[in-house]
């Protein structure tokens, strides 16, 4: 029925890489010998059973995947890899009306896209607690999604001084903070002009702690730490042994401009930053630092003990803390080893001032003093995830492979090719203090030839890997929209979302719960329409305003039945919202066109859905 496509190396590395690394890049795709055909068929049959979730059955895991520059979060079930829902976060999404009603439009502000990178589930004692999901995006923002209803409840930012918020939204083990770091340094505060040739001196990076309210999840800007104009890349919070610390990788510690693929690759090592965030919190509370752009900014040169630099192979990408908190894993992204730094050794080196120099007054620790081991994982180690019993899994971009190895033993156990050019990888509960193992998802950057052709704009490929045995096995390929940088996988039974908003909890001032209370009121040229949506009609069924009026329509869906959503589409006025059971939403606009404009239910509701319609008439001036 299907044809086997030729497995092709589609690894596309710039010519510059050879200069950059000096390593020879040879094709390392999965070999497929004719002898292995039978074994493959039997493997395929077993894999088919493992990923099949029969109609009516449920997946045991959720995966929350970043949607990259789509601006959204995509939710999958594992092992079926079925896309279950899309959570709109930074981009308007008329499928749910997000970005069209007054409240969400205000939350989005002037930006209608975002570049989501690293979903981070809230934690209690280092375990995912199923309360919230935090996601960052590059325009300096971080959002909180409530897992009670899978809705975006807050977008914080753009946060002052943070430009290119890539090193985010990593939460600390008790969700004290979600962290931020600027990938692109700029003169701060934002809006300051300085020519690019002043980059090394006048441009600044910051790393930032965003405080999370433990009850409500509400985020607020905490403190920022000033840094040299390095490009901060990725981060991870310390846990257990290293709780209270935060780690970020960097590139371009050359402070270069121009063609970075050359200029930012001159030095053999860049850094991993080790930040004592409890010390930063205390310094900020003590009123240290200066206010820049409205935020308390701490200078680590003036306040020693906040920030240390660990030398790391050039241009590291991921930095990942082991479940016990004892090791920080990172490496140059074109090395052939990944490095385990010891938290104990870092502390000893700090105590002994075992420094090799400084960067703008920030101490640089001695590599040999903080390194625990170099693990020969293969070429291009980017990210590491964890399983139980000290198991670790490192993605290898250049090799297009995943290597498994063990903490403490520092030797590779298994290696499996993936297709192709893997970036991040995500293991079940892989960022917690007690990872599950079982499944791992390879988030591959290139998908060519793995799916039906869809033109130049190709989807992203992810592969589900069985890691329940020592020998890893690819189970299935799945595809998604651009671009799942990272994902987290949580046990399904940790989430208990509501499906209906209880009437008692609706405190919206314009909510009406009875058809007799609907109506149109006017104050000058301001018209307010209190509307009810309930199977299978809108009340009122028609209403009229004058051209030029400002109209606010507040719609309450008075259903208290699961899956009983109503949509309100108003033609020619660029309006569509969806109102969930028990919810009230408002839309405000100026009636600047006269004529007759139908409204109708856009979200299927019942056998008489098609009849759920009305007319908005605008009398000419």
Is the Cβ of residue 351 or residue 452 nearer to its own copies in the bound state? 452
Taking the CA atoms of the chain, what radius of gyration do you get in angstroms?
Answer: 26
Binding positions for its own copies, 374-413, rule CB under 8 A: 380, 397-398
CA nearest neighbour of 420 among 463, 379, 452, 376: 463
Q: Per-residue string for binding with its own copies, 323-342, x by CB under 8 A?
A: ----------xx--------
- With residue 63 as reference, give the H or E element that holds it: strand 61-66
Contact (CB, 8 A) for 365 and 354: yes
Is the Cβ of residue 151 or residue 371 nearer to its own copies in the bound state? 151
Binding positions for its own copies, 49-78, rule CB under 8 A: 49, 51-60, 62, 67-71, 75, 77
Q: Is there binding between residue 481 and its own copies (CB under 8 A)?
A: yes
CA distance 334 to 328: 18
Q: Is there binding between residue 355 and its own copies (CB under 8 A)?
A: no
* Token representation of residue 547: 């051209």
Is the Cβ of residue 448 or residue 503 nearer to its own copies in the bound state? 448
Q: Per-residue string for binding with its own copies, 16-35, x by CB under 8 A?
A: xx--x---------------
| Minimum CB–partner distance for residue 216 and its own copies (Å) | 18
| Minimum CB–partner distance for residue 322 and its own copies (Å) | 24
How many CB atoms within 10 Å of residue 481? 17
Binding positions for its own copies, 493-522, rule CB under 8 A: 495-501
Q: Is there binding between residue 585 and its own copies (CB under 8 A)?
A: no
CA nearest neighbour of 314 among 254, 365, 356: 254
* Token representation of residue 424: 């991040």
Is the Cβ of residue 81 or residue 329 nearer to its own copies in the bound state? 81
Q: Is there binding between residue 615 and its own copies (CB under 8 A)?
A: yes
Binding positions for its own copies, 441-480, rule CB under 8 A: 445-459, 463, 474, 476-480
Is the Cβ of residue 213 or residue 611 nearer to its own copies in the bound state? 611
| Minimum CB–partner distance for residue 613 and its own copies (Å) | 6
3-state secondary structure of 601: coil
CA distance 376 to 338: 7
Is the Cβ of residue 339 or residue 398 nearer to its own copies in the bound state? 398
Is the Cβ of residue 201 or residue 352 nearer to its own copies in the bound state? 201
Which residue in 65, 66, 89, 93 binds its own copies (CB under 8 A)? 93
Size of the site for its own copies (CB under 8 A): 178
Window of 289-297, 428-436, 502-510, 571-579 that interacts with its own copies by CB under 8 A: 571-579
Q: Is there binding between residue 578 and its own copies (CB under 8 A)?
A: yes
Contact (CB, 8 A) for 311 and 375: no
Cis bond before residue 540 (omega within 30° of 0): yes
3-state secondary structure of 477: strand
CA nearest neighbour of 122 among 220, 237, 225, 277: 237
Contact (CB, 8 A) for 272 and 245: no
Is the Cβ of residue 409 or residue 561 nearer to its own copies in the bound state? 561
CA distance 447 to 453: 10
Q: Per-residue string for binding with its own copies, 279-318, x by CB under 8 A?
A: ------------------------------------x-x-
CA distance 370 to 358: 16
Contact (CB, 8 A) for 316 and 339: no
Phi, psi of 229 (to 5 degrees): -75, 60
- Per residue, the 3-state secondary structure of 20-34, as one string, reads HHCCCCCCCCCCCCH
Q: Per-residue string for binding with its own copies, 214-253, x by CB under 8 A?
A: -----------------x-x-----------------xx-
Residues contacting residue 238 through CB under 8 Å, at least 6 positions apart: 173, 244, 245, 246, 247, 321, 325, 328, 343
| Minimum CB–partner distance for residue 342 and its own copies (Å) | 27
| Minimum CB–partner distance for residue 376 and its own copies (Å) | 20
Q: Is there binding between residue 352 and its own copies (CB under 8 A)?
A: no
Binding positions for its own copies, 595-614, rule CB under 8 A: 595-598, 600, 602-608, 610-613
| Minimum CB–partner distance for residue 44 and its own copies (Å) | 5
Binding positions for its own copies, 142-201, rule CB under 8 A: 148-151, 158, 163-164, 183-184, 186-187, 190-196
Contact (CB, 8 A) for 384 and 375: no
CA distance 11 to 535: 54
């Amino acid at each position: 029925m299907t044809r086997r496509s030729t497995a092709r190396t589609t690894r596309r590395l710039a010519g510059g890489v050879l200069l950059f690394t000096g390593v020879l890049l040879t094709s390392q795709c999965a070999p497929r010998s004719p002898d292995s055909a039978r074994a493959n068929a039997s493997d395929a049959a077993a894999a088919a059973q493992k990923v099949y979730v029969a109609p009516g059955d449920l997946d045991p895991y959720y995966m929350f995947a970043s949607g990259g520059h789509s601006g959204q979060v995509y939710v999958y079930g594992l092992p079926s890899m079925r896309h279950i829902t899309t959570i709109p976060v930074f981009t308007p999404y008329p499928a749910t009306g997000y970005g069209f009603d007054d409240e969400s439009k205000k939350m989005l502000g002037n930006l209608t896209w975002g570049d989501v990178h690293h979903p981070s589930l809230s934690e209690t004692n280092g375990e995912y607690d199923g309360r919230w999901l935090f996601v960052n995006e590059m325009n300096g923002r971080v959002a909180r999604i409530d897992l009670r209803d899978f809705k975006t409840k807050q977008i914080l930012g753009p946060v002052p001084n943070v430009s290119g918020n890539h090193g985010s939204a990593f939460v600390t083990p008790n969700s004290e903070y979600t962290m931020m770091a600027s990938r692109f340094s700029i003169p701060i505060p934002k809006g300051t002009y300085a020519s690019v040739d002043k980059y090394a001196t006048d441009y600044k990076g910051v790393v930032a702690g965003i405080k999370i309210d433990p009850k409500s999840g509400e985020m607020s800007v905490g403190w920022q730490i000033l840094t040299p104009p390095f490009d901060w890349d990725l981060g991870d919070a310390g846990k257990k042994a290293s709780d209270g610390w935060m780690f970020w990788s960097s590139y371009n510690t050359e402070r270069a401009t121009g063609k970075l693929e050359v200029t930012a690759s001159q030095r053999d090592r860049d850094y991993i930053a080790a930040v004592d965030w409890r010390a930063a919190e205390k310094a900020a509370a003590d009123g240290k630092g200066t206010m820049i752009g409205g935020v308390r900014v701490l200078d680590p040169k003036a306040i020693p003990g906040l920030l240390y630099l660990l030398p790391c192979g050039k241009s590291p990408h991921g930095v990942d803390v082991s479940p016990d908190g004892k090791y920080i894993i990172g490496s140059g992204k074109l090395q052939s080893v990944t490095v385990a730094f010891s938290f104990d050794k870092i502390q000893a080196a700090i105590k002994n001032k075992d420094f090799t120099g400084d960067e703008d007054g920030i101490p640089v620790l001695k590599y040999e003093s903080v390194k625990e081991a170099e693990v020969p994982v293969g070429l291009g180690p980017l990210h590491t995830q964890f399983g139980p019993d000290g198991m670790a899994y490192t993605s290898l971009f250049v090799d297009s492979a995943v290597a498994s190895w063990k903490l403490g033993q520092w030797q590779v156990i298994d290696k499996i090719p993936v297709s192709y050019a893997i970036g991040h990888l995500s293991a079940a509960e892989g960022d917690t203090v007690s990872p599950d193992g079982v499944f791992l998802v390879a988030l591959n950057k290139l998908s060519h030839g793995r799916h039906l052709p869809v033109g130049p704009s190709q989807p992203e490929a992810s592969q589900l890997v069985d890691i329940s045995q020592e020998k890893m096995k690819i189970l299935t390929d799945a595809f998604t929209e651009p671009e799942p940088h990272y994902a987290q996988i949580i046990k399904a039974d940790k989430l208990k979302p509501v499906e209906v908003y209880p009437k008692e909890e609706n405190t919206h001032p314009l909510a009406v719960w009875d058809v007799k209370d609907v109506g149109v009121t006017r104050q000058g040229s301001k018209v307010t329409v209190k509307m009810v949506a309930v199977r299978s009609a809108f009340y009122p069924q028609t209403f009229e305003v004058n051209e030029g009026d400002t109209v606010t329509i507040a719609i309450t869906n008075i259903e208290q039945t699961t899956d009983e959503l109503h949509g309100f589409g108003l033609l020619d006025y660029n309006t569509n919202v969806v109102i969930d059971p028990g919810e009230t939403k408002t839309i405000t606009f100026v009636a600047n066109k006269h004529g007759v404009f139908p409204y109708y239910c856009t979200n299927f509701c019942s056998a008489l859905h098609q009849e759920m319609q009305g007319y908005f008439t605008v009398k000419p001036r």
